[in-house]
Structure 1
Amino acid sequence: MKKIILTLFSLIAIQALTFGQQEVKSNDGKTVLLYGDGTWLYSDSIPLYNIKATNITKLELPKTNSKDKIITHTGYSLLYNETHEQANWVAYELTKEETNKLFERTDKFISDPKVKTGTASENDYEGSGYDRGHLAPASDMGWSANTMAESFYYSNMSPQTPSFNRGIWKNLEELVRTWAIENNTVYVVTGPVLTNGLQTIGQNKVTIPNYYYKVILDYTEPNIKGIGFILPNTGSKEQLQYYAVSIDSVEKMTGIDFFPLLQDDQEDLIEKTLCIKCWSWKNIKTAIEKNENKAAESVQCNGVTKAGEKCKNKTLNISGYCYQHETQINSDNPKGNTEEIKNHSNEPTKSSSTSVQCSGTTKSGSRCKRMTTSSNGRCYQH
């Protein structure tokens, strides 16, 4: 059957494939997705409405061997690969509520204390030309100060080209957040495709992957479904649909068994089916990100300084705490033991009554998009 179908396709179309899938028409008018390795499947397969969800704990975790040590953080879990100095995979559940970003990026990259063999470091990436690319995105971890801080562990980083990390990879991360909101909950597994013979950076010889993958499961009735992506580690102007594949295809390339806790018949149906039209493809940049975590006007921070005085910073965070005192939210001990983040001048921050866009410039040369009430017109980073 497979050989008969393939004879109906243009050889030119086959030769033109790079890595993503390409839609072609069979003689009977059906749309088929054709892949560079010669495999194919029908596009827009029947939605999985007949699947009944069951209560499964840690559904996001891939299958592991008994010798594998899964590292669990507050917001995500990972399996670290010491040979390649990065994770084989990171996995987490992302709910609609967790897309409500209450905490800004820390940009404080640190070693993962739970990786006893040590991780990559700043020196490995410095001057390499590669970004410290998040596997579990910081924007998926903004629902608590702890999860945001943990997202900057080097165990969650992988060398990504800037055009990839800041381009199509970022677009996919934003789309997954849209899906979490639309479907209430999604289960996400992300990682590099690690093979022997790849180039490395730094003294720790951190492997530079040629490809990255992401698989997403929506296990909420009635439209239970799954989808995978395999993207080359380079900039791309292609639509994300071009890189969409079945989860089975990602398993074949990585050797990882995703969502093994599903019932066998459910796992088989979900992972072999690719239904492009079952997912939305427009990132809505949700109102939650844009508005719901910002107050209508800036207010004085509720935090308490080390000197025991009320913080004088202004903030737009709905929590009522500025970035320096976010760790005091819901704390029984406002003064806490957490070291406060100091501004670059080591002087108390003077605040204006109106928030403005930061006038600072990022490393990529773009204007900073953060809002600030500082009288000098710059956010804490600039």
Structure 2
Amino acid sequence: MVRRKKKKQPLKINYLLIFIVLVCLVYEPIRQTVYEKHREEQSSTQHTSEKQDTKKEATPFHAANGTKLEIPAKLKHATEQILYRKGYTVSYNKELKIPNWVAWELTPEKLVERESRTDKFLPDPDLPEDEAVTTDDYKGAGMDRGHMCPAGDNRWHWKAMQESFYMTNICPQNHNLNRGDWKELEESCRRWAQEEGRIYIVCGPILYDQRHRTIGKKHKITVPEAFFKVVLCADSNPPKAIGFIYKNASGNHPLDSYVNTVDEVERITGIDFFPALPDEIEEKVETEYDLKLW
């Protein structure tokens, strides 16, 4: 009688079970690692997207299609000649011999003092020689040669400094105002630019509906009754703007004594400020102001 060999099925089953257990043990860590890596990639992508969106919200208007946010709309009821400078743009009124407005962008980079103040007032080379106001026209007038775009905002480049002393950037200004409250506003604007990162400024003379005083023998220069300045920070969240009006006279008052809405400055001057802003943003920032936000 021939004996049959016993089948070793149980041993094979044991090997199969062991194999299955090993696969399970190895698979779970691999699955978990792949899952965690996928989550990290999703989180990183979402974070980058949120960061980009936040940045977009924080600077929604800067350099949009090359738009210069500080430039007002074209004037309808005044003569103007637009002159482009290194540090500012001026709308010059050749009839009044003063600017209608001067506009510029101010950033922390432009507050780096690379150049010394020149104090050399120059006739504008872009005007005919017989029309260009000179510093001699101010002699004996008892008025300061008041910068609209201040020399202190143009120390970042030699050409910007030189051009800040062109007489097309100058108005007859009360000495006490020029060296006092007006200067304090200029210093505040530099502080705001440092804190905010970028602001847009427009300033100029205010001429009320009356007969105006003039100075100068060769050129009759109109003396403004007051001055305005409007400031926009488009990069803040939300954007904000504020206006100021100063009588062209002696005074010593705190900054909040001169505060107005941009709308009020527009009403008085007839100038449309910051037209490159989206309408809903422009309307909001120009009807509100809060000096405490600055």
TM-score normalised by length of structure 1: 0.58
What amino acid maps onto 2:131 in structure 1? Answer: G
Q: Give the counterpart of 1:222 among 237, 246, 249.
A: 237
Task: Measure how far apart 1:100 and its partner are.
Answer: 1.2
Q: Give the counterpart of 2:158 among 137, 145, 152.
A: 145
For the pair 1:109 / 2:109, whether they are aligned, the reply is no
Decide which structure has greater strand share.
Answer: 1
8 A contact 1:70–1:77 mirrored in 2: yes
Task: Measure how far apart 1:218 and its partner are.
Answer: 0.5
Q: Give the counterpart of 1:183 among 173, 189, 196.
A: 196
Matching residue of 1:165? 178
Matching residue of 2:223? 208
State the SS of the aligned residue for 2:180. helix
8 A contact 2:99–2:168 mirrored in 1: yes
CA spacing shift, 1:101–1:155, aligned 2, 3 Å: same
Distance in 2, Cα, partners of 1:260 & 1:84: 25
Task: Measure how far apart 1:120 and its partner are.
Answer: 1.7
Distance in 2, Cα, partners of 1:230 & 1:218: 19
What amino acid maps onto 1:77 in structure 2? Answer: T
Matching residue of 2:292? 277
For the pair 1:94 / 2:106, whether they are aligned, the reply is yes
Alignment of 1:227-376 (within 5 A): 227-279=242-294
**RMSD (CA atoms):** 1.7
For the pair 1:54 / 2:67, whether they are aligned, the reply is no
8 A contact 1:85–1:206 mirrored in 2: yes
Matching residue of 2:169? 156
Task: List per-residue Cα deviations over 1:295-345 (Å, max 9, x = no partner).
Answer: xxxxxxxxxxxxxxxxxxxxxxxxxxxxxxxxxxxxxxxxxxxxxxxxxxx
State the SS of the aligned residue for 2:116. coil
Matching residue of 2:41? none
State the SS of the aligned residue for 2:207. coil
What amino acid maps onto 1:62 in structure 2? Answer: P
CA spacing shift, 1:276–1:63, aligned 2, 3 Å: same
8 A contact 1:53–1:221 mirrored in 2: no
Distance in 2, Cα, partners of 1:262 & 1:226: 12
Matching residue of 1:63? 73
> What stretches of structure 1 move > 2 A for 4+ residues in a row?
50-56, 65-69, 115-119
Task: Measure how far apart 1:52 and its partner are.
Answer: 6.9
Task: Measure how far apart 1:207 and its partner are.
Answer: 0.8
Task: List per-residue Cα deviations over 1:137-189 (Å, max 9, x = no partner).
Answer: 00001100000000000001100111010000100000000000000000000
What amino acid maps onto 1:201 in structure 2? Answer: I
Distance in 2, Cα, partners of 1:167 & 1:54: 34
Matching residue of 1:369? none
Distance in 1, Cα, partners of 2:61 & 2:227: 30
Distance in 2, Cα, partners of 1:155 & 1:129: 19
Higher relative contact order (CA 8 A, sep 6+): 2
Distance in 2, Cα, partners of 1:156 & 1:106: 15
Decide which structure has greater helix share.
Answer: 2
Q: Give the counterpart of 2:92 among 68, 73, 80.
A: 80
Matching residue of 2:49? none
Distance in 2, Cα, partners of 1:54 & 1:177: 21
Task: List per-residue Cα deviations over 1:240-259 (Å, max 9, x = no partner).
Answer: 11111000000000000000
CA spacing shift, 1:254–1:65, aligned 2, 3 Å: closer
What amino acid maps onto 1:102 in structure 2? Answer: R
Number of aligned residues? 230
Task: Measure how far apart 1:276 and its partner are.
Answer: 2.2
State the SS of the aligned residue for 1:139. helix
Matching residue of 1:332? none
Extract unaligned runs of 5+ from structure 1: 1-49, 280-382
CA spacing shift, 1:113–1:226, aligned 2, 3 Å: same
Distance in 1, Cα, partners of 2:158 & 2:272: 32
Task: List per-residue Cα deviations over 1:7-51 (Å, max 9, x = no partner).
Answer: xxxxxxxxxxxxxxxxxxxxxxxxxxxxxxxxxxxxxxxxxxx99
8 A contact 1:88–1:194 mirrored in 2: no
What amino acid maps onto 2:112 in structure 1? Answer: N
